[in-house]
Amino acid sequence: MTPAIELAGIDKSFGAVHANRSVDLAVMPGSIHGIVGENGAGKSTLMSILYGFYEADAGEIRIGGKPVSIRSPADAIGHGIGMVHQHFMLVEPLTVLENVMLGAEGGALLKGGAGKARAELTRLSEAYGLAIDPDAVVGDLSVGLQQRVEILKALYRGAEILILDEPTAVLTPPEADALFALLAQLKAQGRTVIFITHKLREIMAITDRVSVMRRGEMVATLPTADTSPPALAELMVGRRVLLRVEKAPRAPGPPVLEAVGLDVVDAHGVKRLSDVSLTVHAGEIVGIAGVAGNGQSELLEVLAGLVQPSRGAIKVGGDLLPPHRRHPARLRELGLLHVPEDRLRMGLVPSFPAFESAALGFTGDPAFARKAPLGALFDRDAMVGHARALMDGFDVRPPDPWLRSSKFSGGNQQKLVLAREIERRPKVLLVGQPTRGVDIGAIEFIHRRLIALRDAGVGILLVSVELDEIMGLSDRILAMCGGRITGERRADATDAQDLGLLMGGVSEAA
């Protein structure tokens, strides 16, 4: 059978970075083909070349056996390739119909085109069972429905080959299941799907064949049925990795962080948290499960003193905090430390050398100051030495305290932030998205560290959109939806389905 798409010897460099090294890939028509690899393995570059964002330095693209030249997304669309980006390319104030037509209006006047588009949209919706109102405003739709609009957009333009880039990152488990059902239907109709992800569970669930990339090279292409998650992980990283870190049961100690009835209202007057109460005990990991944007970020911020609650009380180590002590610097003194969700915006200063980022939040440490009359000045040797020690302890690479923070990979930036907070011996640690954008190898390391910290008696509040991570690390799990806590489970007495319902807002009372 002729492959639907064939990439032969694709090579691409950005300056000194060799992003794709002579990559070959053949995708069979009517199949779902998964592409996995760590961050920076070259998946996105390869797909960008296929979709015409970049031009390859060398190599050939063949569609249906014929060599083609794809120099722009318009060329790609012309060859029947559609792409659904991780971050949607939708105009929120416009309707579904208007979004689908955008760029394919069919004339200067909208009227004629709109009629045809409406008919075609209805036909597509019916063919695939996509219940979508063409006149709904896209901004009002849920994330899962917005993704359907993206897929409709591609189908409307006649896409025979659909590329999905990390499509499940923003979905609840039930929404992801709905997506998989849709992809299966597209496949049944003879369309070809390329599915990029780093979640091995999804690869196993829906793909027919899977290709693994590592450091710009295509290291393997296998029938999915012949492989397993551990085998894929090993191919991705190049060594054996533990996907789930073992942890021993441990009896939790006294409460170290308590929140009672927290409400948070944002600058626009919108209520982001309502009536959130939780307790974290010493030696316990409490996971917050939820789809991104359901109040987890606000919860971390209010507990870290970055925003003030409009109602409610917070206790740290058993002491009730008056408002003036709910300040990041005061909370640090109490042993409440915070690994923020967004390391580039908050966790470090991208333009600073690593040793300065390694002091963020702790510049008042007397160890960093010069002797008495020059106390306002830094002792740079001490700062650099401190950073070097952190880097050694957490295997940050390259171990160069002078390197600019932005030049480290995501995983190494995260290790630096974690090292900074963990080495300060917290009593309570708030952790947001500890492994977002982090390679599998580094994930294992970070998980081990968090569990070691728990075993040492630290109370950890873990917020993550990765359900596997929440279930793997936590002792107790709280699910959030719409700014409320919708349920609590012991980690050993729940599963993804159960949590998915809670995350979707089906609360226990209902």
CB 280 within 8 A of CB 459: yes
Pick 277 or 363: Cβ nearer another protein: 363
Taking CB under 8 A as the criterion, the residue among 345, 397, 425, 490 binding another protein is 345
Show contacts with another protein in window 469-488 (CB under 8 A).
none
Is residue 373 a contact residue for another protein (CB under 8 A)? Answer: no
Q: Which residues of 134-150 are buried (b: 16+ CB within 10 A; e: fewer)?
A: beeebeebeebbbbbbb
- Of positions 129, 230, 364, 398, contacts another protein by CB under 8 A: 364
Nearest to 482 by CA among 213, 326, 282, 272: 272
Q: Which is nearer to another protein, 182 or 369 (CB)?
A: 369
Q: Cβ 277 to another protein, closest distance in Å?
A: 25
Q: Is 244 in the site for another protein (CB under 8 A)?
A: no
Considering the rule CB under 8 A, would residue 327 count as an interface residue with another protein?
Answer: yes
Of the candidates 29, 78, 361, 457, which one interacts with another protein according to CB under 8 A?
A: 361
Q: How far is the CB of 327 from another protein (least distance, A)?
A: 6
Question: Are 434 and 415 spatial neighbours (Cβ–Cβ below 8 Å)?
Answer: no
Site string for another protein, 131-170 (x = CB under 8 A): ----------------------------------------
Q: Which of 53, 88, 156, 180 binds another protein (CB under 8 A)?
A: 53
Q: Give the three-class secondary structure for 149.
A: helix
| Binding of another protein by 205 (CB under 8 A) | no
Nearer to another protein, 156 or 378 (CB): 378
Segment lying near another protein (by CB under 8 A), choices 90-98, 206-214, 337-345, 468-476: 337-345
CA 442 – CA 237 distance, rounded (Å): 10
- Which residue blocks in 25-172 are alpha helix, DSSP H? 43-50, 73-78, 96-101, 110-128, 143-156
- 346 is an interface residue for another protein by CB under 8 A: yes
Q: Note whether 341 and 300 are within 8 A (CB).
A: yes
Among 352, 424, 427, 437, binds another protein (CB under 8 A): 352
The yes or no reply on residue 340 touching another protein (CB under 8 A) is: yes
| Count of residues of this chain found to bind another protein when the rule CB under 8 A is applied | 34
CA–CA separation, 187 and 344 (whole Å): 39
Beta strands in 224-292 (DSSP E): 255-265, 271-281, 284-289
Question: How near is the Cβ of 357 to another protein at its closest, in Å?
Answer: 8
Judge whether 477 and 289 are in contact, CB under 8 Å.
yes
Using CB under 8 A, which of 69, 277, 363, 497 touches another protein? 363
Q: Helices 173-188 and 496-503: crossing angle, nearest 10°? A: 110
- Selected from 96, 196, 304, 481, the binder of another protein by CB under 8 A is 304
Given a contact cutoff of 8 angstroms between Cβ atoms, the answer to whether 213 and 43 are in contact is yes
Per CB under 8 A, which region of 190-198, 213-221, 341-349, 485-493 contacts another protein? 341-349
Decide: 459 and 282 in contact? Cβ < 8 Å: yes
Task: Kindly indicate which of the ranges 33-41, 165-173, 375-383, 453-461 contains the residues binding another protein, using the contact rule CB under 8 A.
Answer: 375-383
* 287 beta partners: 462, 477
Torsion over CA: 353, 355, 356, 360 (sign): positive
Q: Which two tokens stand for residue 275?
A: 């009536």
**Closest approach of Cβ 83 to another protein, in Å?**
14
- Binding residue for another protein, selected from 110, 369, 382, 496, defined by CB under 8 A: 369
∠ CA 173-177-181, nearest 5°, is: 170
**377 touching another protein, by CB under 8 A:** yes
Q: Is residue 382 at the binding interface for another protein, with CB under 8 A as the rule?
A: no
The dihedral built from the CA positions of residue 418, 419, 420 and 423, taken in this order, carries a sign that is positive
Q: Is 314 in the site for another protein (CB under 8 A)?
A: no
Q: Where does this chain bind another protein (CB under 8 A)?
A: 14-16, 53, 304-306, 327-330, 332, 338, 340, 342, 345-352, 356, 359-361, 363-364, 369, 376-378, 380
